Amino acid sequence: MPSRRQAQVAEAVQQYVSQLLQRDMKDPRIGFVTVTSVEMSTDLKYARVFVSVMGTPEEQKATMDALASAKGFIRRELAARLDLRFAPEVQFKLDTSAEYSDRINRLLNELKAEEAGAGTSAAEGSRPPDSAVTESSPTEEKA
């Protein structure tokens, strides 16, 4: 579990990197990028930035290449904005959790649709017809 200071610095790094990607980065290879989380090392010298990139795998690769080439710029900007002794070295990692959850959601929706389609005929077949349910007459109970 990260310390309170690690969590504070990670949150600040996430905020500043998000701002840099939205406002200051002019690289056309950078597509629709979202900073999902940041993990800081215990000595605050390394930051692992998890990003989610929307697009095809080729667009994702191009965006990751652009982020890798912009590491120096981002580190310099972080040094100017953060009040730390050392500017953290930034490492970008592709976060595929959004794609994974979208895939699971689609599979669950497909199962639900199949169940709804097959469930109506199966539910009707599993119930006994109304004529099969017989009520006992009062004369049979006495016997």
Q: Where residue 33 sits, what CATH number does that domain have?
A: 3.30.300.20
Residue 107 lies in a domain: no
Per-residue DSSP letter, 108: H
Q: What is the pLDDT of residues 74-84, one digit of tens each?
A: 999 999 998 88
Residue 134 lies in a domain: no
Considering the entire predicted model, what is its pTM? 0.70
b/e 13-44 (16+ beta carbons within 10 angstroms → b): bbebbbebbeeebeeeebeebebbebebeeeb
Q: Which domain holds residue 53?
A: 4-96
Q: How many residues does the chain have?
A: 143
Q: What is the pLDDT of residues 3-19, one digit of tens each?
A: 999 999 999 999 999 99
Number of domains in the chain: 1
Amino acid letter at 99?
A: E
